[in-house]
Chains A and B, each alone.
Chain A
Amino acid sequence: MTRREGHVDDDLTALLDGALPGALQAEVEAHLASCPGCRAERDRIARALSALSSLPAPPAPAPGFEQRFYARLAREAPRNRSILDRLSARPLRWLVPSTGLAALLVAGIWIRRADERMDLEMARHLDLLENYVAVASLDAVETPEDVDVVSHLDELQEGRR
């Protein structure tokens, strides 16, 4: 409880914040009644808290605060949201293709060590890899669900046409 033997320094802030359990609060207050040093420290902390309460209000945002955010939200969020909405609405639809993507990525590592015939196989799936690279560059791939989305970006684009 104490930093200094027999004193209650470490509990004084919590006491002033009303955050001590009842029994401990009573114990600390009993000590304060008989210890001028701890009372002085309590008063010093209380004065600092009083000074903090007289701080001016924080700066207000410039006019158009909400509108600036909504504009940024419109630029950056709808794509993620709509794709995730579709994912959550039909989760099984993505299960098999996502397994396919995982297999493709593993195959990609193997292909790098194989011959030109395998490079051609990789080229057939270049659009898929480009999707992954493009989305990863946006820091949008954070979860396994995001990887699933990447594997079906083309389908989503076709669906919009």
Chain B
Amino acid sequence: MAPDPDAALMVAFQGGNEAAFRTLFERHGRATMAFCNRFVRDPARAEELAQDVFLKLHRSAGRYQPSARFTTFLYRIATNHCLNEVRRGEYQARPEIDPESEDGAPLDPDALPGRSATPEEAARGNALARDVAALLARLPESQRAAFVLARFEGLPYEEIADVLGTTVPSVKSLVHRATVSAARALEPWSSEGVTS
């Protein structure tokens, strides 16, 4: 496994280097918020959850073993925290959120392509985001977690298995079932000609 610079920062933090912890937050805090937002569909709440995750990380740093990738450790804390949050149930009745107008939060300029989207493209993207959010809300929680980790975080099946504390065959099944559900739900958005 290639050296993990984030693991080195965690080790430095374990030794008392608070600046190393801040560097980890600067590297991963925004991505953690985006991850949490996949579960709660509320940017303000997602920020609080991301803060919770890093506070837990701060408290539990002593349990981190440098043999594990830092992101695996972080995703494990974040996934458990987000699943606990959605188990509270209040999100299931929440209306679908328009990611642009819901609280005025702008789209992340760092993640946009080189040119601005046209109004038509933006409207289409927002409608697609609503359908994906509705799909995620319907998925069983284990499928939802595996799907988010695979599709939006780009984790390989082996790392998802580490995060969820399960086996690779189980992850394969979870991701497949969720993706089949996505194929059904996103049929109207699927353009023809995507074949190989």
Among residues 16 to 75 in chain A, which have CB atoms less than 8 Å away from a CB atom of chain B? 17, 19, 39, 43-52, 54-62, 65-66, 68-70, 72-73
List B60-117 residues whose CB lies under 8 Å from chain A: 62, 99-100, 102, 105-112, 117
A77 at the interface (CB under 8 A from B): yes
Given A47-B194, A48-B190, A85-B16, A69 and B125 touching (CB < 8 A)?
no
A73 to B51, CA, bound (A): 8
Report yes or no: B182 in contact with A58, Cβ–Cβ below 8 A. no
Chain B count of residues within 8 A CB distance of the other chain:
59
What are the residues of chain B within 8 A of A17 when measuring CB–CB? 150, 157, 175
The distance from the CB of B106 to the nearest CB of chain A, in whole angstroms, is: 6
- Cβ-defined contact, B194 with A14, below 8 A: no
Bound: A54/B105 CA distance, A: 19
Main secondary structure on B side of the interface with A? helix
Q: Which of B26, B50, B172, B189 contacts A51 (CB 8 A)?
A: B189
In this complex, the interface size class of chain A, counting residues with CB under 8 Å from chain B, is: 35 or more
Residues 76-94 of A contacting B (Cβ, < 8 Å): 76-77, 80-81, 84-85, 88
Contact B183 A61 (CB under 8 A): no
Q: Are A58's CB and B106's CB within 8 A?
A: no
B33 near A61 with CB under 8 A, answer yes
Known contacts A48-B183, A65-B30: does B157 contact A54 (CB below 8 Å)?
A: no
Q: Does B22 contact A (CB under 8 A)?
A: yes
Asked whether A56 lies within 8 Å of B58 as measured between CB atoms, the reply is: no
Contacts of B128 in A (CB 8 A): 51, 54-56
Q: Which residues of A contact B100 (CB under 8 A)?
A: 59
Known: A13-B176, A19-B157. A56 touches B129 (CB 8 A): yes
Within the complex, which residue of A14, A59, A68, A73 is in contact with B176, where a contact is CB–CB below 8 Å? A14
Q: A59-B43, A62-B44, A77-B55 are in contact. List 16 more A-B contacts (CB 8 A).
A: A12-B176, A13-B175, A43-B194, A47-B186, A51-B128, A54-B125, A56-B122, A58-B37, A59-B34, A59-B102, A60-B30, A61-B33, A61-B105, A65-B47, A66-B29, A73-B54
